[in-house]
Amino acid sequence: MTTFKEIRGTDILALSSDPSNPELGQIWYNSSSGTLKGYKAVNTWSAGGTMNTVRAYLGSATNATQSTGLAFAGTANGGVTSLSATELYNGTTWTTSSGSMGTARYQLGGAGTQTAGLGFGGYSVPVGITGATEKYNGTAWTATGSLNTVRRGVKGFGVQTAALAFGGGGPSAATESFNGSTWTSVNSMNTARGTLGSAGILTAGLAFGGIITAVTAATESWNGTSWTSVNSMNTARFGLAGAGTQTSALGFGGKTPTITGATELWNGTSWTSNPTSLTTARSYLGGCGTQTSALGFGGITPTVTGATEAWTGTATQTVTVS
């Protein structure tokens, strides 16, 4: 039988009172209460306000915050029709914007914030695959330069004037950089794939999961010039959402190919599976925020949903082990 010392390299400390500043994962024996205690992270998903329009395969402003989310386009009926409706989140409720996208579509990419959003690519019924790009100013959408490679299942990150679009159905490895008005083709991904997860900014981003001909867990890091393959996710999946940065990311939801609520945290080197999954497992959802304060919304459960969940990943607590 393996001992604690063999695992951690030290014996369990016997203390008369709980330490004032314990380390994450630390275990100690409280001699006063006669209990074995530990210090653990308490990462949780909690219910938020439901969207006004249920939708999946939607676009989201990936660099928005948990309390200033932006959702746009998508489909409410499995791709029979495409949506153009836009909604804004205030941390509690969603409000439908008076400004809808000029090109209704689903399986599109997104970037930016609630007041400076960007939507690109996707599939428009009945037009088909599109490279159309639109900018949102908090009130209305305006058409701008189209993608060089038209595609659906594309992902992105960054801000409205400095964004990156990559991947897509096919599968595609094409990567393009946006300067606020035009797209420029840059170095392609190492692993072509669509409906993947993403996090980051134009000069430092992360792409993970997706589908090639089979589901993948592959992860790639972007340095502003090229992609580098890094450690894979623990749960291979596609149709997932992401949040955070290149060195501190969150991946959640998707299909494995069964629908999952699995949540993983990236520390810049490797992924760690979190024991708490989305309350409502789903795929093809939207996401935004940071590793410690994120938002997941919409998707397929397997029915199309408008359910929203908020992620809190900073809390810790002392627990009694025995």
pLDDT score at 19:
87
Identify which of 214, 180, 217, 196 has the alpha carbon closest to the alpha carbon of residue 284.
196
pTM, full prediction: 0.86
167 band by pLDDT with thresholds 50, 70 and 90: very high
Is the confidence at residue 318, as pLDDT, over 70? no
pLDDT score at 322:
61
Is the confidence at residue 240, as pLDDT, over 60? yes
What is the average per-residue pLDDT within 104-112? 98
Identify which of 164, 163, 166 has the alpha carbon closest to the alpha carbon of residue 149.
166
What is the average per-residue pLDDT within 265-294? 95
Contacts of 64 (CB under 8 A, 6+ apart): 70, 112, 113, 114, 117, 288, 289, 295
Structure-model confidence comparison of residues 151 and 13, the more confident one: 151
Burial annotation 168-203 (CB, 10 A radius, 16+ → b, else e) = bbbbbbbbbbbeeeebeebebbebbbbbbbbbbbbe
pLDDT score at 4:
46
Report the SS3 class of residue 296. Answer: strand
What tens digit of pLDDT does each residue of 251-273 get?
A: 999 999 999 999 999 999 999 99
111 band by pLDDT with thresholds 50, 70 and 90: very high
Sheet holding 162-166, edge to edge: 155-159, 162-166, 175-178, 183-186
The yes/no answer on whether domain 44-312 falls in CATH 2.120.10.80 is yes
Domain ranges of the chain: 4-41, 44-312
pLDDT score at 313:
87
pLDDT score at 37:
79
pLDDT score at 36:
87
CB 100 within 8 A of CB 85: yes
Contacts of 223 (CB under 8 A, 6+ apart): 203, 204
What tens digit of pLDDT does each residue of 295-317 get?
A: 999 999 999 999 999 999 865 55
Q: Which of 35-44, 262-271, 313-322 has the lowest mean pLDDT?
A: 313-322
pLDDT score at 24:
62
H, E, C per residue of 194-241: ECCEEEEECCEEEEECCECCCECCCEEEECCCCEEEECCCCCCCECCE
Structure-model confidence comparison of residues 18 and 74, the more confident one: 74
pLDDT score at 251:
98
What is the average per-residue pLDDT within 168-180? 97
CB 295 within 8 A of CB 89: yes
pLDDT score at 285:
98
Is the confidence at residue 35, as pLDDT, over 90? no
What's the rounded Cα separation, in Å, for the pair 58 and 281?
16
What tens digit of pLDDT does each residue of 58-103 get?
A: 999 999 999 999 999 999 999 999 999 999 999 999 999 999 999 9
Is the confidence at residue 40, as pLDDT, over 80? no
What's the rounded Cα separation, in Å, for the pair 191 and 174?
10
What tens digit of pLDDT does each residue of 191-220 get?
A: 999 999 999 999 999 999 999 999 999 999
What is the average per-residue pLDDT within 45-62? 97
pLDDT score at 310:
97
Cβ atoms < 10 Å from Cβ of 213: 7
pLDDT score at 210:
98
